[in-house]
Amino acid sequence: MSGQFWSLATVIGPIILMLVIGYALVRRRRLTSAEKRSQSAAVKDIYRGGEGGPNAPRDGTPPKPEKDG
């Protein structure tokens, strides 16, 4: 009986795992174009020095405006 259980678990386990991964891939939500623009603007703001990004001034002075590009 114990051998049959482990044989069954060995066969059904990977099948269940594949189904769960497939379900997660199907249900994954894509960003809308408005969300992509908002995300891109937020990333640019952080890299310009806003919100404590890597280029943020340490003395509290506002960041210098930069050209996009």
pLDDT, tens digit, 9 for 90 and up, residues 23-65? 999 999 888 999 999 999 988 888 876 666 566 656 666 666 6
Residue 55 in contact with residue 49, Cβ under 8 Å? yes
Residues 22 and 49 in one domain: no
Number of domains within the chain: 2
Residues 25 and 5 in one domain: yes
Identify the domain containing residue 19 by its residue range: 1-30
Taking the C-alpha atoms of residue 5 and residue 16, their distance in angstroms, rounded to an integer, is: 16
Taking the C-alpha atoms of residue 55 and residue 58, their distance in angstroms, rounded to an integer, is: 9
pTM for the complete prediction?
0.45
The one-letter amino acid at 60: G
Residues 46 and 25 in one domain: no
Residues 62 and 48 in one domain: yes
